[in-house]
Amino acid sequence: MNEADYIIIGAGPAGAALAARLAASPLSPRIILVEAGGGRPSLLSQVPAGIALRVPFRNGENYALQTVPQPGLQGRRGYVPRGRGLGGSSLINAMIYVRGQPEDYDHWASLGCAGWCFADVLPLFKRAEANLRGADAWHGAEGPLVVSDLASPSPVSQDFIQAALACGLDENPDFNGPQQEGIGLYQVFQKKGRRLNAARAYLGNPPYPAHLEVLTKTRALRIVITEGRATGVVVHGPGGERRLEARREVILCGGAIASPQLLMLSGIGPAAHLVRHGIPVIRDVPTVGENLQDHLDYTLNVALRGRGLLGYTPTVLGEILSGALPYLRRGTGILSSNVAEAGGFIRSRPDINRPDLQLHFCTGLVDDHGRRFHAATGAALHVCVLRPQSRGTVRLASADPHRAPEIDPRFLSEPADLDLLAAGARIVHRIFAAEPLARHRGRVLYPVDVHDEAALRAMIRARADTIYHPVGTCRMGADPASVVDPSLRVRGIAGLRVADASIMPTLISGNTQAPTAMIGEKAADLILEGQP
């Protein structure tokens, strides 16, 4: 179809949730879901451990973008993997199920985002969730997003947990329960040991309902604005360029990088910037592409041996080959690992009231996002600042919609972020020095004296980078400078909304897939509640 009630741009966690909920409405609206990537996930995407080969490189499921040079990172370019295809970044991420802290959403409400406090969004999280532990006050068991415990966590992940406890940290079996603080194994978006990407979870397999058309390998070029209203989208797909008409609304679900890019390509953004690229200004919105936030991450890589560790060695290859058949039959073994098996949420100092750092313990060396090879097994312990103060931008590199935008997170532009990351790095080193991790006698790839403050900070600037949680570039708010209002409507343009991680006023305290799906759920409710 070339005409629909709703056109949704982007089939990641938010877009898939929104399309599925609208399609299931008794109103049976006609929906077109537009996705620039392909429709069938690769085998490497479906096998959880395949993340080790999908995240580091540009491929059919990863745009593998870069930031502009970062002064705070010694002029290095940061790496920005972004998913492409039905499922978006849920095709390539670590599948970790984390919602954030209740205070994150209560803070949104305090900024004027009515309807977004934790009490408002918890029912949406529960509605989306099918936790195999069962339903309770904090969890749902009937939703599309299957949440599982890891089938075969590495014994070394258990050693990490015990080492963290030896350092005085507490164990927490549920980061989405009564409290987030503590150390433990992550729950994951997996079903029977296999990745469950968001599109597969929400939309199932084709054929889709007749009133839902899914266009893959189709890129949105610009939104059509007629007399102040979004009336359609110009797209380019296998059949060439064409225009799709929207009778009711166009909803952008492209994420924190693609959604502001498409708004600017359509003439909605900072006027001087658009004019510079020869784009006619439909509406001057200086905040489009502003407010970029991301979790900056420092990683301690240690070469060591142990069961269930990944690496480019003959032993691991043999373990993978011997475990292939059991994995296919039961979904167990090393191939079911999400790599980032364990971690937790900790306070940098005891006098603050909630965690401000997150740990990810990976069962393999993650040197430069896994792009630097080592002929060894090992483990990587990551720490990131949960609520960074640094703010960046997404700006057009050109008026060509096929060209990636300029991404500038301005990492460490606020000194407080470096202070906090240095505190986290010292904790990470202390955990690796504690038993039972210490008995593995690992070799630190990039040693540093954590008691030498200048050396530690130089190491952070030389090694730190994103852990892949960009948000905020189409900020939601009650103030007239915000890009969208609390109903996710783009200010000044009728029939146009944004529903993805870009609307977050501030970054949530954790991994972003579950909150992004929640935003899609919320958008569906907002849209359907407004229909006659």
**Residue 269 located in a structural domain:** yes
**Residue 523 located in a structural domain:** yes
Give the model confidence (pLDDT) of 183-195 as tens digits.
Answer: 999 999 999 999 9
Q: Write down the H helix ranges in 245-337.
A: 255-265, 271-276, 314-330
**Residue 360 located in a structural domain:** yes
Residues 353 and 430 in one domain: yes
DSSP-based three-state secondary structure for 466: strand
Residues 372 and 329 in one domain: yes
Residues 167 and 211 in one domain: no
Residues 458 and 330 in one domain: yes
| β strands within 263-354, DSSP E | 268-269, 283-284, 296-303, 340-346
Does 489 score more than 90 pLDDT?
A: yes
Give the model confidence (pLDDT) of 101-115 as tens digits.
Answer: 999 999 999 999 999
Model pLDDT, residue 346: 98
Q: What is the mean pLDDT of the chain?
A: 97
Q: Which of 463, 483, 503 marks a domain boundary?
A: 463
Rounded to whole angstroms, the maximal C-alpha distance in the chain is 69
- Edge-first strand order for the sheet with 65-70 is 76-80, 65-70, 406-408, 393-395
3-state secondary structure 428-460: HHHHHCCCCCHHHCCEECCCCCCCCHHHHHHHH
**Residue 142 located in a structural domain:** no
Residues 264 and 363 in one domain: no
Residues 6 or more apart whose CB falls under 8 angstroms from that of 33 comprise 8, 11, 15, 16, 19, 212, 213, 214, 215
Going by pLDDT thresholds of 50, 70 and 90, the confidence category of residue 532 is low
Residues 6 or more apart whose CB falls under 8 angstroms from that of 309 comprise 154, 156, 316, 363, 364, 377, 378, 379
How far apart are the two ends of the chain, measured CA to CA in Å? Answer: 24
- Give the whole-number percent of the chain exceeding pLDDT 70: 100
Region 408-416 average pLDDT? 98
Residues 424 and 323 in one domain: yes
Residues 381 and 285 in one domain: no
**Token reading at 49:** 């451990």
Residues 443 and 338 in one domain: yes
Does 471 score more than 80 pLDDT?
A: yes
Region 133-154 average pLDDT? 98
469 given a catalytic annotation: yes
**Residue 519 located in a structural domain:** yes
Residues 320 and 457 in one domain: yes
pTM check: above 0.95: yes
In degrees, rounded to 5, the angle at the alpha carbon of residue 513 between the alpha carbons of residues 431 and 45 is 90
Model pLDDT, residue 1: 75
Model pLDDT, residue 530: 83
Residues 275 and 326 in one domain: no
Does 441 score more than 90 pLDDT?
A: no
With DSSP H G I counted as helix, E B as strand and the rest as coil, what are the percentages for the chain, rounded to 5? 30, 25, 45
Going by pLDDT thresholds of 50, 70 and 90, the confidence category of residue 16 is very high
CB 41 within 8 A of CB 54: no
Give the model confidence (pLDDT) of 323-344 as tens digits.
Answer: 999 999 999 999 999 999 999 9
**Residue 367 located in a structural domain:** yes
CB 469 within 8 A of CB 294: yes
Instruction: Identify the active-site residue in 360, 369, 440, 469.
Output: 469
Quote the number of domains for the chain: 2
Cα 335 to Cα 45, 87, 439, 459: the distances in Å are 11, 21, 26, 33
Residues 311 and 241 in one domain: no
**Residue 64 located in a structural domain:** no
Residue 257's domain is classified under what CATH number?
Answer: 3.50.50.60
Give the model confidence (pLDDT) of 413-439 as tens digits.
Answer: 999 999 999 999 999 999 999 999 999
Domain hosting 162: range is 151-185+296-385+413-463
**Residue 445 located in a structural domain:** yes
Residue 348's domain is classified under what CATH number?
Answer: 3.30.410.40
Does 284 score more than 60 pLDDT?
A: yes
Q: Which of 423, 442, 463 marks a domain boundary?
A: 463
Residues 211 and 178 in one domain: no
DSSP letter assigned to residue 71: G
Region 80-90 average pLDDT? 98
Does 77 score more than 60 pLDDT?
A: yes
